[in-house]
Amino acid sequence: MTRTAQALQRHGAIDTFAAGLMIVLTFSWGLNGVAAKLAGVGYSPVLLTIMRSAIAALCVYGWCRWRGVALFERDGTMWPGILAGLLFGGEFVLLFWGLDYTSVARSALMLNTMPFWVLVGAHFLLGERMSMLKLAGTVLAFGGVALVFSDKLSLPGPAAIRGDIMCLVAGALWGATVLVIRKSSLATASPEKVLLYQLVVSAVLVLPLLAVSGPALREVTALASAAMLFQAIYVVALTYLVFFWLVRRYPAGGLASFAFLTPAFGVMLGGLLLDEPVSVNIVAALGLIAVGIVLANWPSRRTARG
């Protein structure tokens, strides 16, 4: 048994410590949208994706060397790892590009449709049958998406729908990444290795887009650079690893129930920090998506009884 395996201690339920950490993590992920918006003032979406992935990859690699996490053994993960990295890179190029047009609040709601893309994909690709309760959650969530598209008061400009669609597709690519990981040999790889695949591949394979994506540098300021570093070092390298640590010690279903907090924090922080308009429709859409996420993650009777 490895040192890591010996150190693992499984918990049967979410305790106060795990709940507190999940609140901090989801707040951080909600704040990430604000940081991406600010970083986009100084860097193009493609350059931002490359720098964010490359800097985070160096941090995660340093962590792996310090902890002795094996990364280079032959385990059949190379091709699915490359595919996951391509999807990851596409997700963030679309997200950062979409934020050029739409608000943080609207992008947070679009991006966090991810659990429902996973639910639908798992139904068709993984044989995980969708219950009526989960179907109801999916319908509610996409009702929330429809509300976002129909809301005119929170539109930052006439091109915002284009940004909304980019962020919605980014959420679908995030869901596709999860499905690739679950269906391939990546499912048995260490979380650190899976994350590094996504970071390294996205940084390398998105690089050619710099030649066709317009000016890479915009109005580079200290705030834009700090926002970029906040995403790379804190959000990606630190919070993702903390979340993986939680997943290996606490029930995944219990952790998933906190997912609705991320778009909630995104909407709130976009309004508070960037003075974005948050209309009644956006709040209603948040409520529909939050209820939908809870229903979609509600354990079945079989799961609940263990």
Residue 175 is assigned to a structural domain of this protein: yes
pLDDT value, residue 299: 67
Q: What angle do CA 166, 170, 176 make, to 5 degrees?
A: 145
Residue ranges making up the domain that contains 67? 15-299
Residue 6 is assigned to a structural domain of this protein: no
- At 3, is the pLDDT very low, low, confident or very high (cuts 50, 70, 90)? very low
What's the whole-model pTM score? Answer: 0.88
Q: Does the pLDDT value for residue 10 go beyond 80?
A: no
Q: Does the pLDDT value for residue 32 go beyond 70?
A: yes
**Measured distance CA(228)–CA(148) in Å, rounded:** 27
Percent of the residues in the chain that have a pLDDT greater than 70, as a whole number: 93
Q: Averaged over 265-279, what is the pLDDT?
A: 91
- 204-215 pLDDT, tens digit per residue, is 999 999 998 899
pLDDT value, residue 53: 97
Q: Does the pLDDT value for residue 4 go beyond 50?
A: no
pLDDT value, residue 179: 93
Residue 260 is assigned to a structural domain of this protein: yes
Q: Averaged over 1-27, what is the pLDDT?
A: 73
Q: Averaged over 249-271, what is the pLDDT?
A: 84
Q: Averaged over 127-146, what is the pLDDT?
A: 86
Residue 65 is assigned to a structural domain of this protein: yes
Q: Does the pLDDT value for residue 77 go beyond 90?
A: yes
Residue 246 is assigned to a structural domain of this protein: yes
Q: Does the pLDDT value for residue 233 go beyond 80?
A: yes
Query: Could you identify the residue written with the tokens 């280079």?
Result: 72
Number of structural domains found in the chain: 1
Q: Averaged over 109-127, what is the pLDDT?
A: 88
Instruction: Kindly tell me the sign of the dihedral angle through the C-alpha atoms of 213, 194, 298, 253.
Output: negative
Q: What is the mean pLDDT of the chain?
A: 88
Residue 140 is assigned to a structural domain of this protein: yes
Task: Determine contact, residues 148/70, Cβ cutoff 8 Å.
Answer: no
Q: Does the pLDDT value for residue 7 go beyond 80?
A: no
Q: In whole angstroms, how far apart are CA 198 and each of 53, 71, 97?
A: 8, 13, 19
- At 305, is the pLDDT very low, low, confident or very high (cuts 50, 70, 90)? very low
pLDDT value, residue 253: 64
Percent of the residues in the chain that have a pLDDT greater than 90, as a whole number: 60
pLDDT value, residue 42: 97
Q: In whole angstroms, how far apart are CA 293 and each of 42, 68, 76, 206?
A: 34, 36, 33, 31
Residue 227 is assigned to a structural domain of this protein: yes
Residue 305 is assigned to a structural domain of this protein: no
